[in-house]
Amino acid sequence: MHIRNMKDITELTLVINPNHKKELQPVTMLNGTSTVAGTEDGSPYHCPITGLEMNGRYRFVFFLTCGCVVSERAYQNVTDGMCPKCGTAYGKTDCVDINPVAEERKTRAKENMEDRRLRLKEAKRDAKLREKVGDAGDVSKEDHIAAWLSTANADRRGSSSSSVDTGISDTRRLSMVSALSAGGSIGEAEDKQARKRRLEAWAKEERRKSLGDEEKAKKIRLIKEQLLKKKRALIAARINEESSDSSDSSDCSSDSD
């Protein structure tokens, strides 16, 4: 259920075991069916660092950043944050156990997965914020004048003012253009402050959304734990009832004897 799309799939890089020997041959039985007989020595794959075979006796892990597969012993001996096979850097939650059996390891893998998804979501939000900051960056004086002139012309076309008002507006526009070309520091400062307030409000709203998603995930986990506890209690009660019924039936049979 945790696999949502192809981004959740990692292609693993396995290393062939040179000591693996396969001497299997097809054999036809008397009844016409075919089977395979022979000997097979060693596992097809092994750890390139320690030489341990992937035969089910040893734990193996892989890295999400590169897909290399090594033994857990090799991973524990390497503590510099680099893949011991290819040298690719990996994070604290980028190491995944292959086919974990213990419930503790399964729980840890699930928590690491949720942590990675949360960090990825935060990184996307940060990228959006940087993009907005980049789009609202410093604009040249000529661009300010051109943008103001275009909006003023659009307003003039849409309005139905008299020729006297148009002349006054043209005079005001020419004075505004001259002021902008001369300095324009006041208008630019006001624009920067407005952009800053708008971006701060947007960042505050995004942080509130992320906190809400985290609280929702915590509530869902608590509800699941409560449901599991209730299910275990019901199963235990049913088992106790069945055992008591069986003991009563055995007592009745002994009394009849």
pLDDT digit string, tens, across residues 20-45: 777 767 777 777 777 766 666 678 89
Q: How far apart are CA 178 and CA 235, in angstroms?
A: 84
pTM: 0.44
Contact 104/112 with Cβ under 8 angstroms?
no
Residue 61 has pLDDT above 90, yes or no: yes
Residue ranges covered by each domain of the chain: 6-99
Residues in the chain: 257
Write the CB contacts of 89 (distance below 8 Å, at least 6 apart in sequence).
65, 81, 82, 83
Q: What percent of the chain has pLDDT over 70?
A: 68
Identity of residue 234: L
What does the pLDDT read at residue 156?
Answer: 57
Q: How far apart are CA 103 and CA 157, in angstroms?
A: 72
pLDDT band at 152 (very low <50, low <70, confident <90, very high): low
Residue 54 has pLDDT above 80, yes or no: yes
Candidates 58, 123, 127, 119; CA nearest to 94 is 119
201 versus 50: the higher-pLDDT residue is: 50
Region of 180 please: left (phi>0), alpha (psi -120 to 50) or beta. alpha
Residue 148 has pLDDT above 80, yes or no: no
What does the pLDDT read at residue 252?
Answer: 59
Identity of residue 127: A
80 versus 168: the higher-pLDDT residue is: 80
CATH topology for the 6-99 domain = Herpes Virus-1 (3.30.40)
Q: How far apart are CA 225 and CA 170, in angstroms?
A: 71
What does the pLDDT read at residue 60?
Answer: 94
Residue 137 has pLDDT above 50, yes or no: no
CA end-to-end span of the chain: 56
Candidates 53, 89, 52, 92; CA nearest to 68 is 89
Contact 233/163 with Cβ under 8 angstroms?
no
Mean pLDDT confidence for 231-236: 88
Q: How far apart are CA 244 and CA 61, in angstroms?
A: 47
